[in-house]
Structure 1
Amino acid sequence: MPIAPSLIGGSLPGWAFLQSTQESQQATFETSSDIQRNVAGMREKLSEPFSLDDLMGDRQLLRPVLQSFGLEGEIDKGAFVRRIISDGPDDPSGFARRLNNTDFIELARVFEADSDGLIRLTSSKVDELVQNYQDEAFQVAVGEQEPDLRLALNFEQDIGALARDSASDRSFWFKVIGSAPLMEVFSAAFILPDGFSNLDVDKQADYLQKRGEQRLGSNPRAALATDDGIQSTIRDFILQRQLENGPDALTPGASALTLLSGNSGLGSAGLFSLLISNAT
């Protein structure tokens, strides 16, 4: 088993602690024998030309490869993964495009075979996949203790590049909608209404743009390309989760809330809102 990260909860203090210790904690995590074995296997097997059959037939390689795209949950869906890759990234009728999932599209793009039926990765692409695997593996380990912190780490890692690289506001929101982890953060941070996912995708994009303008200013995509905009959204996400789940021991004023919640007409939710507003 990999070395477990040290966390102090999923509240804002817990997020601040993780951010301040992440570099050293991840370096320690990456010394785990499981991680080093997978990294060595990826470097050895992905550095030479290989076929889709080679990839799909090697579960010890396929698992970290899928994890490098945040798709570790697909490891037991061999036929599905094979179809994603073989259909390619650009076919409008292919699985990757039809599913409107940026991770699937990127998987299909990276592992697209050449005219000889072989997949050839550059050394820089192998390095990128290895780093993505290590980052994702650390996030998974964090999520085993604090799922919301894993979502925050993923958001922090992905949203800036997505905002910068998207051709327009609309294409940016379409990509966000296609990513379940990003949408979970925005759903809480923007306080999206129940049934939002049942709306037509164009209406979802319109609503996200409007809520983004209310939360982040007139150009939310530009704001989300900056650290300030990213951290503001993560803060809103974590605070909303605290409001939904109740305070933990590290929430400012939590002890007072425990003592007073039974003696005030405000109730615990009202007191918690006051304590959070006073502490931020």
Structure 2
Amino acid sequence: MTFQPVVPLGGLNGWIFLQRTAEVQQETYSNSGLIARETEDFRSRIGEVQTAEALVADRILLKVALGAFGLSEDIDNKFFIQTVLSEGATDDGSLANKLADKRYLEFAKAFGFGEERAPLTSEPGFADTIVNAYETRSFEEAVGEQDENMRLALGLERELGTIAERSVSNDTKWFSIMGNPPLRAVFETTFSLPSSFGTLPIDQQLETLKDRAQSILGSDDVSNFSNEEALDDLTNKFLLNAQVQAFQAAQGGSAALTLLQNIPRLNLV
């Protein structure tokens, strides 16, 4: 039986609890039941996989591979995933390079199918790298089954930190955020953007995000999120706004005032 993460509270109080217990909970989760069997199987057999077709044909290996990149929902989209992998990541015209969601590009790069050299599946350390990522994201998904906002908060440092440290323009970093569904969800919630926001022209979305970041976070420079203090500030604002929005939706606007009067006092400005 697989251990189920404990998330007894929502919002900021729940986040404090999860931060304190996440390391122990994730270790317990990774060592339990199905997860342990899947990762052991992946480690023992992935080195034999030399083509995208072979990976897609093996559901257990594919589950771990996709889960390592937060793409678990694509487990049944076999033709699509095989195309992403087989076309590789070096050709600008490949499917992975064309997709707005750059998790697919990272996925294709990691396995190295469709390149002139041999795939990376039998390289030393490859299996451990994928398994570690799978265990982390799988735990986050399990947390998300109880509270989706906690899942997003758990992955924020990893996802946003990677983008923040890239040697590209600030606008390119924002486009990467927009192309990453979990990060987009965090910023849209933090900035109280409507569900229709994603239908706006891409340049208008960019300017709106930058304007809101400057106004609400004090800066539109994505590089700032490599700083722990800036990341904590974003996380707190995200969870607070998500909690307020949930109360508003469930009980009407008066619930927001009640919530704000009862949450812990935090330095959110």
Q: Find the counterpart in structure 1 of residue 36 from structure 2.
A: 36
Instruction: Select between 160-169 and 115-124 the one with higher mean Cα deviation.
Output: 115-124
**Residue 257 of structure 2 is aligned to residue 270 of structure 1:** yes
Identity score, percent: 31
Matches within 5 A, 1:252-271: 267-271=254-258
Q: How far is 1:205 from its partner?
A: 1.8
Q: Find the counterpart in structure 2 of residue 71 from structure 1.
A: 71
After TM superposition, where is structure 1 displaced by more than 6 Å over at least 4 residues in a row? Answer: none
Secondary structure (helix, strand or coil) at the match of 1:69 reads coil
Larger gyration radius, structure 1 or structure 2: 1
Q: What is the root-mean-square deviation of aligned Cα atoms in Å?
A: 2.2
- The alignment covers a number of residue pairs equal to 262
In 2, Cα distance between equivalents of 1:202 and 1:141 = 35
Kept in 2: contact 1:50–1:120 (CA 8 A): yes
Q: Find the counterpart in structure 2 of residue 124 from structure 1.
A: 125
**Residue 222 of structure 2 is aligned to residue 236 of structure 1:** no
Unaligned runs of 5+ in 2: none
Secondary structure (helix, strand or coil) at the match of 1:279 reads coil
In 1, Cα distance between equivalents of 2:88 and 2:41 = 25
Unaligned runs of 5+ in 1: 248-260
Kept in 2: contact 1:47–1:121 (CA 8 A): yes
Q: Find the counterpart in structure 2 of residue 199 from structure 1.
A: 200
Q: Find the counterpart in structure 2 of residue 61 from structure 1.
A: 61
In 2, Cα distance between equivalents of 1:48 and 1:92 = 28
What is the CA deviation profile of residues 168-192 of structure 1, one whole-angstrom value per residue up to 9, with x for unaligned ones? Answer: 1111111111111110000011222
Secondary structure (helix, strand or coil) at the match of 1:36 reads helix
Q: How far is 1:91 from its partner?
A: 3.1
In 2, Cα distance between equivalents of 1:53 and 1:267 = 55
What is the CA deviation profile of residues 90-127 of structure 1, one whole-angstrom value per residue up to 9, with x for unaligned ones? Answer: 43332222221111011111222343765544223322
Q: How far is 1:269 from its partner?
A: 3.0
Match for 1:93: what amino acid?
G
**Residue 185 of structure 2 is aligned to residue 184 of structure 1:** yes
In 2, Cα distance between equivalents of 1:96 and 1:14 = 36
In 2, Cα distance between equivalents of 1:218 and 1:148 = 23
In 2, Cα distance between equivalents of 1:90 and 1:192 = 35
Q: Find the counterpart in structure 1 of residue 16 from structure 2.
A: 16
What is the CA deviation profile of residues 190-211 of structure 1, one whole-angstrom value per residue up to 9, with x for unaligned ones? Answer: 2224522112222222222222
Q: How far is 1:274 from its partner?
A: 4.3
In 2, Cα distance between equivalents of 1:120 and 1:143 = 29
In 2, Cα distance between equivalents of 1:138 and 1:235 = 21
Q: How far is 1:139 from its partner?
A: 0.5
